[in-house]
Amino acid sequence: MENISRKKFIASAALAAAGLPFGLSAMAKQPTSYPDNTSTNLPANEKIKVSIFSKHMHWLNYADMAALTAQLGFDGIDLTVRPDGHVLPERVADDLPKAVEAIEKAGLKVYTIVTNIKTANEKDTEPILKTASALGIKYYRTAWFNYDKALSVPMNIKAINKQLADLAKLNKKYGMHGGYQNHSGDLFGASQWDLWMSLEGLDPNYIGCQYDVRHATTEGADTWPVTLDLLKVYSKTINIKDFYWEKKGDKWQVKSVPLGEGMVDFKKYFSLLKQYHINSPMSLHCEYPLGGAEDGTRKLTISKEEFSAALKTDLTKLRGWLAEYDL
């Protein structure tokens, strides 16, 4: 027992030197339930609203995009407000209201936007949040962060905690929530444990995660439920897509596929969403070959009908799962 206590003390001291919490004391500080009565909290009986990621519709203007999205049966559009997006950051005050007007005219809503926001003091950050908030938009996705290779992992987490804390303060000013997507690969947050640790002490009503079960599965096929449990209170928005591992030559690589054709355990995922009362706005991502739409092309190499049929198939599959789990 003495040896164990000594080792624990040494480990705790090392993390404390990096400004990080340790063990049960860190976990005790994490939120354990959903906060109530906040501007970014949805009613418990609210059903999940499904939007299409507007990256896939960069080939359409606002009105045509909204018309097609409504025709396909979506609830809204997850709008790109970033460089080369539907709305350019430098034109947000002029163009975001126009985009929202066209989308709402078609009977849809903009529940979420996708940005390139990294810090609170970037020149476009506050104009985007101010404009979006005034239009009734409550959720945005941040940019991804890279690890600073010159720093240790604990020091990276400490720095990003400060970065997210500054964003949370600004988000609170505008009644918005910023979600960091756990994207697989050599990015911060891919393992999700680092993202959870970077959110230490921060209000989940204003900063957190856009949980991506596909990328979580890529990084941990059997362990992603653990990280969803950790991040559930922070997951105010979610997205959905599918994939499997494919071997080409002597290398394994990710192959994106339509919903239900890959290895994501959607039955488990939706059962956990139900268990954790996660009814967050959801964005459908279609990253399989789709005439360039998967990469945000401005001109499709397939017909509009082929594109629409693919999205309709995914949405029908998704609606079936949501109905099955009463989400």
* Arithmetic mean of pLDDT, 41-52: 86
Domain range summary for the chain, segments of one domain joined by +: 45-324
pLDDT, residue 264, reads 96
Query: Does the pLDDT of residue 130 top 90, yes or no?
Result: yes
pLDDT, residue 227, reads 94
158-174 tens-digit pLDDT: 999 999 999 999 999 99
Range of weakest confidence among 8-17, 50-59, 109-118, 275-284: 8-17
51-82 tens-digit pLDDT: 999 999 999 999 999 999 999 999 999 999 99
Query: Does the pLDDT of residue 262 top 70, yes or no?
Result: yes
Query: Does the pLDDT of residue 37 top 50, yes or no?
Result: no
How large is the C-alpha radius of gyration of the chain? 20
pLDDT, residue 36, reads 39
List, as one string, the DSSP characters of 231-242: HGGGEEEEEE-E
Rounded CA separation 283/141 (Å): 11
> What's the predicted TM-score (pTM) here?
0.88
Q: What does the mean pLDDT of the chain come to?
A: 89
DSSP 66: H
Range of weakest confidence among 19-23, 34-38, 40-44, 248-252: 34-38
pLDDT, residue 41, reads 63
Chosen CATH of 45-324 out of 3.40.50.720, 3.40.50.10860, 3.20.20.150, 3.20.20.100: 3.20.20.150
Query: Does the pLDDT of residue 2 top 50, yes or no?
Result: no
* Arithmetic mean of pLDDT, 203-219: 96
Name residues whose C-beta falls within 8 Å of residue 49's C-beta, 6 or more positions apart in sequence: 75, 76, 109, 111, 281, 282
Are the beta carbons of 241 and 286 closer than 8 angstroms? yes
pLDDT, residue 43, reads 77
Are the beta carbons of 58 and 296 closer than 8 angstroms? yes
Range of weakest confidence among 8-22, 214-228, 312-326: 8-22
* Arithmetic mean of pLDDT, 109-120: 98
Could you tell me where the DSSP H helices lie in the chain?
A: 2-17, 23-28, 62-72, 92-105, 125-134, 153-174, 193-198, 213-219, 224-231, 266-275, 304-324
